[in-house]
Amino acid sequence: MTGRLLPLVALLTTISVHGQIAFGGQPYGMRPTEKTGLPPAPRVIMPTVDAAALMAEDAERAAQGIKGPYRFGFNHATDLSLDNSGIWHTMPNGDRVWRLAIVCPNAFSINFEFNEYMVPEGARVFVYNAWNEVLGGFTAASNGGRPTMGVGQLAGDRITVEYVEPASVEGQGHLRIGQVTHAYRDVLGLAKGLGDSGSCNNNVICPVGDEWRDEIRSVAIIIVGGSGYCTGTLLNNCAEDGTPYFLTANHCTEGANVNNWVFRFNWESPVCEANQNGPTNQTVSGASLLENSGGSDVALLQLNSTPPSDYNVYYAGWDNSGAAPTSEVCIHHPSGDIKKISFNNDAAGEADWGSAATWHIPAWDDGTTEPGSSGSGLWNQDHRIIGQLFGGQASCSNNVNDYFGRFDVSWPLLESHLGSCGTTLDGWDPAGSTTYQYDALLQSINNVPPSLCNENTIDPTITIKNNG
């Protein structure tokens, strides 16, 4: 590989801030206390969670072939606001800082939802954990100006929420945390290593995915309702204008507020044979539900914000003709795992499954689907979406019978949004179609101590991906 070597400092800066579309900055709470004078953040401790009982419920659902959202957490209803919780402190420069620590005993990770999110100009919200991993800074632009916002996961059983309000906008902000999610599964892979899905699944970085590099970039894992996972796909439209239309399953939306969903792109292992963690910072918060129907188990969303250019996303093409495919591919996040790809080399057939018109996959030739794969796209041999996963019995141990809601049956609902330009549309790359063998993408930086202040040297492991 040729090109410039980025300074280590620049690479470290790249990963120091994570989260939904964020605008950087450093929270006061991560600076030395003797310099800030901040008092300790008061703690709110959530009730304990019976993880074994919840996992038993999950196993029963899986045995029934339910491919709905893959549950990883338990939702605690809360009412934590700037007025009734936390502590305020005024900095010498006039900034007012509010902080609150949230503890979920024995949780693998924590995420939460703001059911009130009003942040004035110049104010920012940060969330961080004991390992100095940061989400934020979030502003009014982080959720497309909506009054609520979901916040993605941070590892560990304690997080701190920090709101910084300049003196010029004192009292104008309103934040209320209405739900805190205790992850009883190690979905970030910190204790068990990554890979909760079956061993027959293929990491998308493997050679079998080489012909599908563009389509892989269109797929995101969704945090649904704070405590579950589904999968979905960015769709191209006839105007090819980058409107972030997003296809998933109707059953993933049941009882959920899509405005609080979190969409994580490019969560992939950087190596083929072993599961290694990929970037978790490329996320978008919230969406609007444009259309949904049980007749084909379809849901069309529009993300609240367009994925930034550095996410390097792709907008998938589609086929609404109803022509039977000769082979199929599914790109998905089984059991909330990193992104996988599955193949069927035979023709899918039409079938009614439950109340929905579907494409039937009798058996997968390579890979499978699992809970958490729900909503994932089905591509035909021409690299065009023809449906999204409804359900079925397929697993690594019984790799038969999956059903995908048919895109052609959904089309009367979708046409007013995606446009009228014939029966097929190819995918669209907002960055252009040219890639080069020396293009590189930072995947991860590991082995960095939580504090660098007392270290003479460090020996990080930096993983980059050949993007060409």
Q: What is the pLDDT of residues 230-264, one digit of tens each?
A: 999 999 999 999 999 999 999 999 988 999 899 99
- 207 and 166 inside one domain: no
Q: Is 338 among the domain residues? A: yes
Residue 242, Ramachandran bin (φ over 0: left; ψ between -120 and 50: alpha; else beta): left
Tally of domains in the chain = 2
pLDDT at 65: 65
- 330 and 252 inside one domain: yes
- 163 and 46 inside one domain: yes
Q: Which of 18, 76, 251, 333 is catalytic?
A: 251
Q: Which of 58, 196, 297, 408 is catalytic?
A: 297
Q: Is 211 among the domain residues? A: yes
User: What is the mean pLDDT of the segment spanning 420-440?
Assistant: 76
User: What is the mean pLDDT of the segment spanning 220-233?
Assistant: 94
- 176 and 212 inside one domain: no
Q: How confident is the model at residue 216 (pLDDT cuts 50, 70, 90)?
A: very high
Q: Is pLDDT at 276 greater than 90 in this prediction?
A: no
Lowest mean pLDDT among 107-116, 138-147, 160-169, 417-426: 138-147
Q: What is the pLDDT of residues 156-213, one digit of tens each?
A: 999 999 999 999 999 999 999 999 999 999 888 744 334 567 789 999 999 999 999 9
Q: What is the pLDDT of residues 286-313, one digit of tens each?
A: 999 999 999 999 999 999 999 999 999 9
73-81 and 174-183 strand pairing: antiparallel
Q: Encoding tokens for residue 138?
A: 């979030």
Which helix (H) or strand (E) covers residue 103, if one does? strand 96-103
pLDDT at 332: 96
Q: How confident is the model at residue 2 (pLDDT cuts 50, 70, 90)?
A: very low
Q: What is the pLDDT of residues 338-395, one digit of tens each?
A: 999 999 999 999 999 988 999 999 999 999 998 889 999 999 999 999 999 998 888 8
CA–CA distance, 266 with 313 (Å, rounded to integer): 8
- 239 and 301 inside one domain: yes
- 175 and 303 inside one domain: no
Known catalytic residue at 251: yes
- 278 and 363 inside one domain: yes
- 80 and 171 inside one domain: yes
Most confidently predicted of 66-70, 133-137, 426-430: 426-430
**In the chain, pLDDT over 90 holds for what percent of residues?**
68
Q: Is 341 among the domain residues? A: yes
3-state secondary structure at position 150 = strand
Enumerate the β-bridge partners of residue 379: 329, 385
Q: Is 417 among the domain residues? A: yes
Q: How confident is the model at residue 77 (pLDDT cuts 50, 70, 90)?
A: very high
Task: Please say which residue of 183, 211, 232 terminates a domain.
Answer: 183
- 107 and 254 inside one domain: no
- 166 and 307 inside one domain: no
Q: Is 189 among the domain residues? A: no
- 168 and 266 inside one domain: no
Strands (E), 104-257: 109-118, 124-129, 134-138, 149-155, 158-165, 174-183, 202-203, 219-224, 228-235, 245-249
pLDDT at 21: 63
- 123 and 244 inside one domain: no
CATH number, domain of 93, equals 2.60.120.290
Look-up: residue for tokens 């969409």? 263
Known catalytic residue at 297: yes
Give the domain extent around 275.
202-425
pLDDT at 33: 72
Q: Which of 269, 374, 395, 444 is catalytic?
A: 374
pLDDT at 188: 80
CATH number, domain of 287, equals 2.40.10.10
Q: Encoding tokens for residue 321?
A: 């003709």
Computed over every residue of the chain, the mean pLDDT equals: 87
Q: Is 454 among the domain residues? A: no
Dihedral angle sign, alpha carbons of residues 372, 374, 375, 377: positive
**DSSP codes joined into one string, 415-432:** HHHH--S-SEE--B-TT-
Q: Is pLDDT at 454 greater than 70 in this prediction?
A: no
